[in-house]
Amino acid sequence: MRYFFGLGVAIALLLCLPRALRAQDLAPRAYVITPIHSNAVTLTYSFYDGSIDFNGALPVSDAKGKYSVPIFGYYHSFNLFGRSANIAAALPYGVGNFQGTLKGAGTQLYRSGLVDSVYRLSVNLKGGPAMPPREFVKWHQKVLLGASLKVIAPTGQYDPTKLINWGTNRWSFKPELGYSQRWGNWVVDGYAGVWFFTTNHDFWSRNSFFPGTRSQSQNPMGSFETHLSYDFTRRLWVSIDGNYWVGGTVSPGGVENPLTREKNSRLGGTAAIPISKHQSLKFSYSDGTYIQYGGNYQNVSVAWQYSWLGKPN
């Protein structure tokens, strides 16, 4: 009994933890451009609290999780063939407690460690030429079209002999198209992308239950996101945020489980507040509106950002 309980909860958490950090992101103004050689360092603290919905894939009930993720991020903009472009990188660290019940038996789990690092390259396609600061201050946004590629690298904590890991031991890629349009103080954003995943060839292997090795794969997953924001000043703004993602059926050991197909959405809000010439704070909150399979978490995030202009030395 304890073995099957531990197996059920562990598989569920393994599938839901990395997904919660990836698919549930809400990022307003991701395609709004900055002058070339803009730099920013961001320290973010995100707190998640909620349940895990299994959609009948596992006979586990009352599964809950409460975890925090501090994140260090860096942003730099540059000129790419005359268009505005930027790169961003983020290094998260996860600490959390989880619990669940199977046939009246319960258990609790604790994990801490590095989460997979995230990298993003974004390029403007229309409406945002590369501009130095003196030209940028005279420029007014109308319609922006952009494209990006987000990559999640397998740099997180991962032990193939254990089911619960913050890392995924695979690469993830999301090509995305983004749209942004301004009407006075209002800005509307919309993004559409697809997540692709490589195979984890060392999934829960080389232990007393599975002495050999086996794989875990995941189907592509569509991702859609929209935001409506309002500027009070150039750097003080608020937004209403929403997203929807679908697909991502998982195949542990080469056997596809259709009950793991996601069809989920979240709704939230964001506020950006300047506190000095170079510093600002960002507050955000989101909650699940419809969760078919996966983590149904409330999320509160606070970020401090320091930005400056100039080429890196």
pLDDT tens-place string over residues 143-160: 999 999 999 999 999 988
User: What's the CA gap between 92 and 21, in Å, rounded?
Assistant: 10
Mean pLDDT of all residues in 26-31:
95
Buried b (16+ CB within 10 A) or exposed e, 247-274: ebbbebeeeebeebbbebbbebbbebee
Give yes or no for a contact between 100 and 4, defined as CB atoms under 8 angstroms apart.
no
- The answer to whether the beta carbons of residues 292 and 249 sit under 8 Å apart is no
Q: Which residue has the higher pLDDT, 241 or 216?
A: 241
Average pLDDT of 98-106? 69
H or E element, residue 282 = strand 279-290
What's the confidence (pLDDT) of residue 282? 97
Share of the chain above pLDDT 70, in %: 87
Q: What's the whole-number mean pLDDT along residues 214-237?
A: 94
Average pLDDT of the chain is 87
What's the pLDDT tens digit per position in 29-84?
999 999 999 999 999 999 999 877 766 656 666 778 899 999 999 999 999 999 99
What digits encode the pLDDT tens for the residues 108-155? 788 899 999 999 999 999 999 999 999 999 999 999 999 999 999 999
Query: Is the pLDDT reported for residue 313 higher than 60?
Result: no
- Report yes or no: 259 and 267 within 8 Å, Cβ to Cβ: no
Instruction: Give the pair of three-digit tokens for residue 50.
Output: 């909620």
Give pLDDT tens digits for 176-215.
999 999 999 999 999 999 999 999 998 878 877 778 888 8
In this prediction, residues 5-15 reach a mean pLDDT of: 44
Beta pairing, strands 118-126 & 83-102: antiparallel
Query: Per-residue confidence at 268, pLDDT binned at 50, 70, 90?
Result: very high
Question: Per DSSP, which regions of 54-185 are E strands?
Answer: 61-80, 83-102, 105-114, 118-126, 143-152, 172-183
The DSSP 8-state label assigned to residue 212 in this structure reads S
pLDDT at 149: 98
